[in-house]
């Protein structure tokens, strides 16, 4: 059986597809994402992998060793959920490549000297409940399960309700040290979200670091009123304050080398053309290699917003939704991966990943596959079929090495 990740991705290309090449909508526990979960379970089961879904909704597909011991396992995999309007590669490429790498290894008659697991992590994008890498944060204890149960989506459905509807017991979510103790190393393959490999003319890279990144919700409350009957001097318009937030974020990130600041959502209530809004809620996404710089930018933007709110007669509440410190991936593991893939350059990334969260619990690393557009979180995200194959081959070699050799990074 050849390892054909392209064919696997072709199979799911229609799931959660938005009309008019608008990309994908595959929020966690939605019908589309659940269809993708079923697709993965079907393929894993067809390959004789032992499949289980843990209490955090993470799917594990095991290529077990005789006797079934799972200590010292090598983990790979990624996520299947998407951002709204995202591409078909961010997440699914890592899952499809993991299945294909198993096919390649089996096709070569390889039998693992230690167990291999493919994991599918839920809510990596945080698109439905607002917290990125929710599944990996839960299993590693990086987030309070009580807080997670109460998270709500745009329809005010709680995570607990959505998880229960998807067949999980929400009372069971939370840290799982026993399961994590089985993992000796985690390698996630992911489409590159940037043009590093295009510029370097290489198909595959190793990940060096993920820069610090966080998300905040800025809620501005004013006074709803009539657009025509209300004099300008009598207004408390939260949208005017929101404009200052957006301006300040751009101004304060532009002057810091390597900083990134994004307002991706502006929710205006009630949202009528002839209505002065009563509230405006914005999302802040701020990133930089230095954590203190991220927090300083957020403080500066908050102060600017508060000044604008005071002069407009509005109130502001800024709430941190999630924060991920800079992660430098395990140097010893990366050295092993480099020995297996000597031509692969090392690239840092501005995108967060479950591997960045798991890095706190086990030596973790990443492989990036070239994306000719460099674009991501958009339908323009892509990877050439030959580079997808190169990624599968690279992952297969890395897994063969890790499943055969002991090293200092793993007990």
**Residues at the contact surface with Mn ion, assessed by CB under 5 A:** 90-91
Nearer to ligand HGY, 130 or 365 (CB): 130
Nearer to Mn ion, 40 or 63 (CB): 40
Q: What, of Mn ion, ligand HGY, none, does residue 27 touch, CB below 5 to 8 Å by kind?
A: none
Q: What, of ligand HGY, Mn ion, none, does residue 352 touch, CB below 5 to 8 Å by kind?
A: ligand HGY
Nearer to ligand HGY, 230 or 373 (CB): 373
Degrees, nearest 5: CA angle 112-37-265? 120
Nearer to ligand HGY, 8 or 132 (CB): 132
Q: Minimum Å distance from CB 132 to Mn ion?
A: 8
Neighbours of 235 (CB within 10 A): 17
Nearer to ligand HGY, 124 or 306 (CB): 124
Q: What, of Mn ion, ligand HGY, none, does residue 277 touch, CB below 5 to 8 Å by kind?
A: none
Q: Minimum Å distance from CB 224 to ligand HGY?
A: 33
In DSSP terms, 226 is beta-bridged to 275
Q: In terms of Cα–Cα distance, which of 209, 212, 211, 207 is closest to 190?
A: 207
Nearer to ligand HGY, 126 or 363 (CB): 126
Degrees, nearest 5: CA angle 404-190-104? 40
| Contact in structure between 198 and 371 (CB atoms under 8 Å) | yes
Q: Minimum Å distance from CB 48 to Mn ion?
A: 28
Alpha-carbon gap, residue 73 to 369, rounded angstroms: 24
Q: Minimum Å distance from CB 108 to ligand HGY?
A: 33
Q: In terms of Cα–Cα distance, which of 143, 102, 97 is closest to 388?
A: 97
Q: What, of Mn ion, ligand HGY, none, does residue 91 touch, CB below 5 to 8 Å by kind?
A: Mn ion
Q: What, of ligand HGY, Mn ion, none, does residue 187 touch, CB below 5 to 8 Å by kind?
A: none
Q: Minimum Å distance from CB 136 to ligand HGY?
A: 11
Tokens 């799917």, residue located: 59
Q: In terms of Cα–Cα distance, which of 158, 178, 177 is closest to 168?
A: 158
Alpha-carbon gap, residue 215 to 284, rounded angstroms: 5
Q: In terms of Cα–Cα distance, which of 166, 5, 14 is closest to 76?
A: 5
Q: Minimum Å distance from CB 376 to ligand HGY?
A: 7
Q: Minimum Å distance from CB 33 to ligand HGY?
A: 15
Burial class (CB in 10 A: 0-12, 13-18, 19+), 230: middle
* Closest-approach residue to Mn ion (CB): 90
Nearer to ligand HGY, 125 or 389 (CB): 125
**In the complex, which residues of this chain contact ligand HGY (CB under 6 A)?**
124-125, 132, 351-352
Alpha-carbon gap, residue 116 to 113, rounded angstroms: 9
């Amino acid at each position: 059986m050849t390892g054909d990740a392209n064919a696997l991705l072709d199979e799911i290309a229609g799931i959660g597809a938005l009309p008019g090449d608008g990309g994908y909508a595959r929020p966690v526990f939605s019908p589309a994402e659940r269809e993708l979960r079923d697709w993965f379970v079907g393929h894993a089961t067809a390959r004789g992998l032992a499949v289980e879904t843990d209490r955090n909704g993470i799917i594990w597909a095991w290529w077990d060793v005789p006797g079934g011991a799972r200590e010292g396992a090598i983990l790979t995999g990624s996520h299947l959920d998407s951002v709204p309007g995202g591409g078909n590669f961010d997440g699914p490429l890592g899952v499809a490549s993991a299945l294909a790498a198993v096919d390649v290894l089996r096709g070569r008659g390889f039998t693992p000297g230690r167990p291999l697991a493919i994991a599918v992590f839920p809510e990596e994008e945080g698109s439905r409940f607002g917290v990125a890498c929710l599944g990996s944060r839960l299993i590693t204890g990086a987030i309070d399960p009580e807080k997670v149960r109460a998270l709500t989506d745009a329809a005010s459905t709680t995570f607990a309700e959505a998880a229960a509807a998807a067949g999980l017991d929400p009372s069971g979510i939370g840290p799982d040290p026993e399961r994590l103790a089985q993992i000796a190393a985690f390698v996630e393959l992911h489409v590159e979200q940037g043009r590093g490999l295009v510029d370097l003319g290489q198909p595959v890279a190793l990940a060096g670091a993920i820069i610090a990144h966080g998300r905040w919700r800025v809620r501005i409350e004013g006074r709803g009123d009539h657009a025509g009957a209300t004099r300008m001097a009598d207004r408390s318009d939260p949208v005017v304050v929101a404009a200052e937030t957006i301006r300040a974020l751009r101004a304060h990130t532009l002057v810091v080398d390597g900083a990134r600041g994004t307002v991706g959502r502006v929710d205006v209530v009630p949202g009528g053309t002839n209505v002065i809004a009563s509230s405006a809620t914005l999302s802040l996404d701020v990133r930089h290699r230095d954590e203190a710089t991220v927090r300083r930018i957020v403080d500066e933007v908050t102060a600017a917003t508060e000044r604008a709110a005071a002069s407009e007669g509005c109130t502001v509440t800024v709430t941190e939704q999630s924060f991920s410190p800079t992660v430098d991936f395990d140097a010893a593991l990366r050295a092993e991966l480099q020995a297996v893939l000597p031509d692969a350059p090392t690239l840092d990334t501005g995108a967060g990943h479950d591997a960045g969260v798991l890095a706190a619990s086990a030596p973790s690393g990443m492989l990036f596959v070239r994306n000719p557009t460099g674009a991501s979180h958009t339908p323009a995200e892509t990877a050439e079929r030959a580079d997808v194959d190169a990624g599968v081959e690279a992952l297969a070699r890395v897994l063969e090495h890790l499943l055969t050799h002991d090293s200092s990074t793993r007990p």
